[in-house]
C-alpha cells in the first residue's frame, strides 16, 4: 500500500512541477489599446535621466504635458537602466511602466522583435502622423526593426571631436584635423611624455575602453556595412573595418604604444566627474557627445575648447562632417493597459516641436525631429550647433538594429579590445571568426 | 524521541481477524505515524522542493527550450547545449577562470585561515586585538572592499605601487593586467579570511591538550605534533572549509564584476550594459556569464545549460572531496 502511494505520488509531484513550469512561462501580461485617453488615468513613466538638471528638464516636460492633458497624470521614475526595464516588463505585474525609454539604440531590435514594446505605427496612422516627414531617416531607422516601429527618437546624440584650443596653439596647429593622416600627425604633436617615457598627455587616445570611445562609434567615420543582405555578419569582408583597426593602431603606436596610453588612462577620474581626462588636460583631443559641452561649462574648464567633426579616412575626405548618431528612444510597454493615453505622452515628447526644442536646449541634446532641427529657437552656441550639423550630415550613421539587441556590438567591442592589446595577430582571420560568432549568436536568439 | 514502529512480524498474529478491529487499529497507527514523520519532515520537504527540486527541474527543462521570457518557450532540442559547449567563445575563459579561482583561492584561503588561526591561538598577549584585527575585514561589504582594493592597487595613483616604487620595484598593473587580475582577487579574498580563521581557531582550541602533552613526552617536534595530533582532529573542519569554499567560489560574482568594472574605467549609465571580465576576460566567471545570458540577453536556455554545467562540476568536486580516501574524512575506528 505504502509502495503504491509512493509510486503514485511521484507522477503527481512531477505533474505539479510541470504545471508550475507552464504557469511560470506564460507571457507575463498583455496590454491593450482600448482605453479612452480622455478619461482620468495615471501613467507610469520610466526614464534614465538622473542628473539634477536633466531630471528638472524632464519633469518640466511632463508638467507641460499634464497642462495640455489635465486628465492624465504622469508618475515618473528616473535613473532606470535598460536591464531593469527589460526585467520588469518580463516579470509583469501592476507596477510595470506604461511608457519607457532607453538611453541606447542597441536594444531596439530586441524590443521590437520580442513584442516587448508595442508597435507605434497604428497610433501614428490614427493621428495622421507621417513619420518619414517628421523624423530624420537615420533616427527613424534606429527606432524600428524589420518594419516594426516600436520606438521613436526622444532627442538624439551626435559624436564629434572636442579639442583643446590652447594645446593646439602651443603646438602650432591652426585648425582641427579633417583626415586620418592629419589626425595622427596632430595627435603626435600634442602628445607629451615624462622623462621616464610615460605619457603625461595624449594628443588623442584611441583606446576603446576610454569613456565614449566604443569602437563602433569610431568605426562610423569609415561608414561600414555590418551585415550583408541575408543578414550575415560581414566585418571580415568589408575593407573599411581593416582600415579602421590599422588607423587606430597607427595612432596608438605613433604616440608611444597602447600600454603607455592605458597607464595614462588608469589615472583618469570618472567620465562624469571633474577627474575627466579631457577636463584635466590629459587629452588634447577627445571623442564625445554633444552633452559634454554643457558639462565643460558647468565644470569651469580652465582652457579654451572647440568642437569639430571627427576626422574621416583620407580616401573618403568628401564625407568630412559625418559622425556617429544614437540617442534616447521611447516607446509603450506591451503590458500597458492604457496604451492610447501612453501614446499621447509619447507623441507629445517626440513630435511636439516646441517641446522637443525646449527639452533639447535644457539638456544640451540634439533635437530629433526635422522641424526641431531647423528651429530658430535652438541654442545659438556654435559648439552645440556643430553637433546639429553632424546630425544633419547625410553620411552620419547609426548601428543597424538586430534581433539580438546590441550583442553583436558587444562581440565587436570584445574583439576590438583584444585587437588593440595585440591579441589578434591575424586580423582577417580574427574578423572571420568574429563574423561566425555573431551569426551563431543571432541564430541562437531566433525562435 | 524514539518511536516504536509496529513491525510486520508484530502484526501477523492479528491477521486472524482480517479487516476487523485490531487490523484497523494497526493501520490507523501506521498512518498516524507516517503523518507524524511527514509533519516533521515537511519544512525540509517544502524547502527542498520549492528552492531546489523545482528550480532544478525547471533548469533542465529550459535547457532544451528557446525562451526569451516574453514569448512561450519552444523546444529546440540540443541547440542550447551545442551553442554553449561549442560556439560560445566566452564559455572557455569563464570556466577556466572559475576553476582557477576554485583551486588557487580555496587552497590559499584554507592555508592562510589555518595559519592565522594557529597564530592567534599561540600568542599570549593582545589576543583580542589580533583576533579582532584579522576578523574585521571579513565584515566589510564585498563591494566596498573591492572598491578599496582597486583604489589601493591602481597602477598610476594607488599607494601600493608608489610604495613598491620607493624600494625600486616596478609594480604590476594589478586589476588592469590579465595576468595579475585573478591574483589580485585572491589577495582581496585573503584579506577577508577572518571567517575561516574563526572556525579554525575554534577547532584548534578543541584539540585535547593531553595529546600534545603525550606527544611532548614522546619527543615529538612541532611538525610531528601537527601531523599526528592537530591534523586528525581538525580534518572535518578542513573538509567543511574546502567544500563550502569550493561551492562559494563556484558562485564567485560580485568582487570580480566590481573590480573589472572599476578598473576598466568604462562608465556605466542607464543605457549601458556592464560587460564583465575586464581585462581581456580574465575576471569573467561562469555565474557572471549565467547572469549575462539569462537576464541581459534573455537567452534563458543557454543560461540554464551553463547553470547545469556548474552544478554538475560542483557536485562532482564535492563528491570527490567527500570520498574517504580523499584524506579529509577521518578513518573510523
What's the whole-number mean pLDDT along residues A405-420?
90
Selecting from B70, B176, B297 the residue whose C-beta is nearest the C-beta of A27 gives B70
| pLDDT attached to residue B333 | 47
Mapped onto helix, strand or coil, the DSSP state of residue B166 is: helix
Under the banding of pLDDT at 50, 70 and 90, the label for residue A437 is very high
CA B301, CA A406: separation in Å to the nearest integer?
A: 19
Average pLDDT in chain A: 91
Which helix (H) or strand (E) segment holds residue B156: the answer is none
Minimal C-alpha gap between A211 and chain B (Å): 6
Is residue A62 scored above 50 in pLDDT? yes
CB contact under 8 A, A21 and B57: yes
Is residue A227 scored above 60 in pLDDT? yes
Is residue A36 scored above 50 in pLDDT? yes
A372-391 pLDDT per residue, tens: 999 999 988 999 999 999 99
Q: Where are the domains of chain B?
A: 20-80, 89-265+273-326
Report whether B262 contacts B147 (CB < 8 A).
Answer: yes
With helix as H, strand as E and coil as C, how does chain A read? CHHHHHHHHHHHHHHHHHHHHHHHHCCCCCCCCCCCCCCCEEEEEECCCCCHHHHHHHHHHHHHHHHHCCCEEEEEECCCCHHHHHHHHHHCCCCCCCEEEECCCCCHHHHHHHCCECCCHHHHHHCCCCHHHHCCHHHHHCCCECCECCCEEEEEEEEEEEEEHHHHHHCCCCCCCCEHHHHHHHHHHHCEECCCCCEEEEEECCCCCCCCCCHHHHHHHHCCCCECCCCCECCCCCHHHHHHHHHHHHHHHHHCCHHHHHHHHHCCCCCCCCCCCCCCCCEEEEEEECHHHHHHHHHCCCCCEEEECCCECHHHHHHCCCCEEEEEEEEEECCCCCHHHHHHHHHHHHHCHHHHHHHHHHHCCECCCHHHHCCCCCCCCHHHHHHHHHHHCCCCECCCCCCCCCHHHHHHHHHHHHHHCCCCCCHHHHHHHHHHHHHHHHHHHCC
What's the whole-number mean pLDDT along residues B165-190?
93
Q: If contacts are CB pairs under 8 Å, which of residues 84-103 in chain B contact chain A? A: 87-89
Interface test with B, best of A430, A444, A445, A447 (most B CBs within 10 A): A444
CB contact under 8 A, A413 and B275: yes
What's the whole-number mean pLDDT along residues A180-186?
98
B122-160 pLDDT per residue, tens: 888 888 899 999 999 999 999 999 999 999 998 878 899
What's the whole-number mean pLDDT along residues A20-27?
51
Selecting from A21, A265, A437 the residue whose C-beta is nearest the C-beta of B58 gives A21
Set of chain B residues whose Cβ sits within 8 Å of the Cβ of A444 = 79-80, 83, 87, 299, 302
What's the whole-number mean pLDDT along residues B313-323?
88
Is residue B117 scored above 50 in pLDDT? yes
Residues with Cβ within 8 Å of residue A77, at least 6 apart in sequence: A44, A45, A46, A47, A97
CA A436, CA A426: separation in Å to the nearest integer?
A: 16
CA A182 and chain centroid, separation? 28
What's the whole-number mean pLDDT along residues A174-193?
98
Q: Which residue of B has its CA nearest to A208?
A: B266
Please give the share of chain A, as a percent, with pLDDT higher than 70. 93
CB contact under 8 A, B271 and A211: no
CB contact under 8 A, A270 and B54: no
What's the whole-number mean pLDDT along residues A159-188?
98
CATH superfamily of B89-265+273-326: MetI-like (1.10.3720.10)
B65-66 and B74-75: which strand pairing?
antiparallel
| pLDDT attached to residue A407 | 87
Minimal C-alpha gap between B289 and chain A (Å): 13
Angle A166-A283-A52 from CA coordinates, rounded to 5°? 95
Is residue A4 scored above 60 in pLDDT? no
CB contact under 8 A, B156 and A264: yes
Is residue B49 scored above 70 in pLDDT? yes
CA A366, CA A389: separation in Å to the nearest integer?
A: 10
What's the whole-number mean pLDDT along residues A237-245?
97
CB contact under 8 A, B270 and A79: yes
Residues constituting chain B: 333
Q: Which residue of B has its CA nearest to A447?
A: B66
| pLDDT attached to residue B14 | 44
Locate B157 and state its grid cell. Answer: 595613483
Q: Which residue of B has its CA nearest to A408?
A: B297
What's the whole-number mean pLDDT along residues A233-241?
97
| pLDDT attached to residue A17 | 53
Domains along chain A with CATH numbers: 41-157+325-392 (3.40.190.10), 161-322+402-445 (3.40.190.10)
Set of chain B residues whose Cβ sits within 8 Å of the Cβ of A327 = none
Minimal C-alpha gap between A298 and chain B (Å): 19
Selecting from A86, A209, A328 the residue whose C-beta is nearest the C-beta of B298 gives A86
Set of chain B residues whose Cβ sits within 8 Å of the Cβ of A271 = 265, 267
A304-351 pLDDT per residue, tens: 999 999 999 999 999 999 999 999 999 999 999 999 999 999 999 999
What's the whole-number mean pLDDT along residues A66-78?
96
Is residue B8 scored above 70 in pLDDT? no
CB contact under 8 A, A266 and B176: yes
Locate B138 and state its grid cell. Answer: 571579513
CB contact under 8 A, A414 and B281: yes
| pLDDT attached to residue A21 | 52
Under the banding of pLDDT at 50, 70 and 90, the label for residue B279 is confident
CA B233, CA B207: separation in Å to the nearest integer?
A: 6
Report whether B297 contacts A114 (CB < 8 A).
Answer: no
Under the banding of pLDDT at 50, 70 and 90, the label for residue A2 is very low
Is residue A256 scored above 70 in pLDDT? yes
CA B32, CA B36: separation in Å to the nearest integer?
A: 6
Q: Does B155 touch chain A (CB under 8 A)?
A: yes
Under the banding of pLDDT at 50, 70 and 90, the label for residue B20 is low
Q: Does B168 touch chain A (CB under 8 A)?
A: no
Is residue A413 scored above 60 in pLDDT? yes
Under the banding of pLDDT at 50, 70 and 90, the label for residue A31 is confident
Minimal C-alpha gap between B298 and chain A (Å): 9
Under the banding of pLDDT at 50, 70 and 90, the label for residue A66 is very high
Set of chain B residues whose Cβ sits within 8 Å of the Cβ of A405 = 297
Which helix (H) or strand (E) segment holds residue B218: the answer is none
Selecting from A211, A413, A423 the residue whose C-beta is nearest the C-beta of B267 gives A211
Please give the share of chain B, as a percent, with pLDDT higher than 90. 70
| Whole-structure pTM value | 0.81
CB pairs under 8 A, 24+ apart, for A186-194?
Answer: A186/A285, A187/A251, A187/A254, A187/A255, A187/A284, A187/A285, A188/A254, A188/A255, A190/A284, A190/A285, A191/A255, A191/A256, A191/A284, A193/A256
Q: If contacts are CB pairs under 8 Å, which of residues 31-50 in chain B contact chain A? A: 34, 49
Q: Does B162 touch chain A (CB under 8 A)?
A: no
Amino acid at each position: 500500500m505504502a509502495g503504491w502511494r509512493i509510486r503514485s505520488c511521484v507522477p503527481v509531484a512531477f505533474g505539479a512541477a510541470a504545471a508550475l513550469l507552464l504557469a511560470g512561462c506564460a507571457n507575463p501580461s498583455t496590454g491593450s489599446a482600448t482605453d479612452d485617453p480622455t478619461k482620468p488615468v495615471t501613467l507610469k513613466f520610466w526614464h534614465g535621466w538622473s542628473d539634477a538638471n536633466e531630471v528638472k528638464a524632464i519633469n518640466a516636460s511632463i508638467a507641460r504635458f499634464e497642462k495640455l492633458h489635465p486628465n492624465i497624470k504622469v508618475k515618473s521614475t528616473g535613473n532606470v537602466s535598460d536591464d531593469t526595464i527589460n526585467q520588469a516588463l518580463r516579470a509583469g505585474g501592476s507596477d510595470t511602466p506604461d511608457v519607457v525609454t532607453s538611453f541606447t539604440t542597441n536594444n531596439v531590435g530586441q524590443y521590437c522583435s520580442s513584442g516587448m514594446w508595442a508597435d507605434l505605427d497604428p497610433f501614428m496612422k490614427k493621428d495622421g502622423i507621417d513619420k518619414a516627414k517628421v523624423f530624420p531617416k537615420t533616427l527613424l531607422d534606429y527606432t524600428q526593426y524589420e518594419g516594426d516601429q516600436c520606438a521613436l527618437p526622444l532627442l538624439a546624440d551626435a559624436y564629434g571631436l572636442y579639442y583643446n584650443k590652447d594645446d593646439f596653439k602651443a603646438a602650432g596647429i591652426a585648425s582641427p584635423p579633417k583626415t586620418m593622416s592629419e589626425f595622427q600627425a596632430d595627435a603626435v604633436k600634442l602628445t607629451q611624455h615624462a622623462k621616464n617615457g610615460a605619457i603625461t598627455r595624449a594628443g588623442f587616445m584611441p583606446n576603446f575602453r576610454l569613456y565614449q570611445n566604443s569602437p563602433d562609434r569610431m568605426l562610423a567615420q569609415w561608414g561600414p556595412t555590418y551585415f550583408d543582405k541575408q543578414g550575415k555578419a560581414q566585418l571580415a569582408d568589408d575593407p573599411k573595418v581593416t582600415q579602421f583597426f590599422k588607423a587606430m593602431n597607427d595612432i596608438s603606436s605613433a604616440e608611444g604604444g597602447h600600454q603607455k596610453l592605458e597607464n595614462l588612462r588608469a589615472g583618469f577620474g570618472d567620465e562624469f566627474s571633474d577627474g575627466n581626462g579631457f577636463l584635466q588636460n590629459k587629452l588634447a583631443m577627445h571623442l564625445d557627445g554633444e552633452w559634454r559641452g554643457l558639462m565643460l561649462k558647468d565644470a569651469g574648464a580652465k582652457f579654451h575648447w572647440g568642437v569639430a567633426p571627427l576626422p574621416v579616412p583620407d580616401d573618403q575626405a568628401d564625407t568630412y562632417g559625418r559622425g556617429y548618431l544614437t540617442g534616447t528612444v521611447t516607446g509603450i510597454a506591451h503590458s500597458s493597459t492604457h496604451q492610447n493615453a501612453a501614446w499621447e505622452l509619447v507623441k507629445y515628447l517626440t513630435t511636439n516641436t516646441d517641446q522637443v526644442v525646449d527639452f533639447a536646449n535644457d539638456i544640451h541634446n540634439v533635437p530629433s525631429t526635422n522641424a526641431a532641427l531647423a528651429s530658430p529657437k535652438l541654442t545659438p552656441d556654435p559648439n552645440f550647433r556643430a553637433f546639429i550639423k553632424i546630425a544633419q550630415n547625410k553620411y552620419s550613421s547609426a548601428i543597424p538594429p538586430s534581433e539580438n539587441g546590441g550583442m553583436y556590438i558587444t562581440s565587436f567591442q570584445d574583439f576590438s579590445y583584444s585587437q588593440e592589446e595585440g591579441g589578434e595577430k591575424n586580423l582577417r582571420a580574427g574578423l572571420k571568426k568574429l563574423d561566425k560568432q555573431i551569426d551563431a549568436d543571432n541564430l541562437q536568439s531566433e525562435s | 524521541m524514539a518511536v516504536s514502529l509496529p513491525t510486520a512480524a508484530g502484526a501477523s498474529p492479528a491477521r486472524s481477524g482480517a479487516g476487523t478491529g485490531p487490523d484497523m487499529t494497526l493501520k490507523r497507527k501506521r498512518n498516524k505515524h507516517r503523518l507524524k514523520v511527514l509533519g516533521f519532515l515537511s519544512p525540509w520537504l517544502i524547502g527542498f522542493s520549492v528552492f531546489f527540486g523545482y528550480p532544478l527541474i525547471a533548469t533542465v527543462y529550459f535547457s532544451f527550450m528557446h525562451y526569451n521570457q516574453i514569448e512561450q518557450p519552444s523546444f529546440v532540442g540540443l541547440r542550447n547545449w551545442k551553442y554553449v559547449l561549442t560556439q560560445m567563445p566566452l564559455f572557455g575563459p569563464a570556466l577556466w577562470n572559475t576553476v582557477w579561482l576554485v583551486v588557487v583561492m580555496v587552497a590559499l584561503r584554507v592555508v592562510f585561515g589555518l595559519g592565522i588561526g594557529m597564530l592567534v591561538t599561540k600568542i599570549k598577549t593582545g589576543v583580542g586585538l589580533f583576533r579582532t584585527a584579522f576578523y574585521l575585514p571579513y565584515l566589510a561589504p564585498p563591494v566596498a572592499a573591492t572598491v578599496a582594493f582597486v583604489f589601493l592597487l591602481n597602477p598610476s595613483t594607488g599607494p601600493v605601487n608608489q610604495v613598491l616604487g620607493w624600494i625600486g620595484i616596478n609594480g604590476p598593473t594589478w586589476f588592469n593586467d590579465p595576468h595579475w587580475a585573478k591574483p589580485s582577487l585572491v589577495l582581496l579574498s585573503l584579506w577577508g579570511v577572518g571567517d575561516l580563521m574563526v572556525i579554525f581557531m575554534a577547532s584548534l582550541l578543541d584539540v585535547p591538550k593531553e595529546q600534545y602533552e603525550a606527544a611532548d613526552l614522546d619527543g615529538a617536534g612541532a611538525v610531528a605534533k601537527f601531523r599526528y595530533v592537530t591534523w586528525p582532529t581538525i580534518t572535518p573542519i578542513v573538509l567543511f572549509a574546502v567544500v563550502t569554499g569550493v561551492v562559494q567560489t563556484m558562485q564567485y560574482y560580485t568582487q570580480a564584476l566590481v573590480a573589472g568594472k572599476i578598473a576598466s574605467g568604462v562608465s556605466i549609465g542607464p543605457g549601458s550594459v556592464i560587460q564583465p571580465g575586464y581585462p581581456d576576460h580574465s575576471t569573467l566567471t561562469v555565474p557572471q556569464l549565467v547572469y549575462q545570458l539569462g537576464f541581459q540577453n534573455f537567452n534563458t536556455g543557454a543560461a540554464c545549460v551553463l547553470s547545469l554545467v556548474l552544478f554538475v562540476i560542483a557536485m562532482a568536486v564535492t563528491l570527490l572531496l567527500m570520498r574517504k580516501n580523499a584524506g579529509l574524512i577521518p578513518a573510523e575506528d
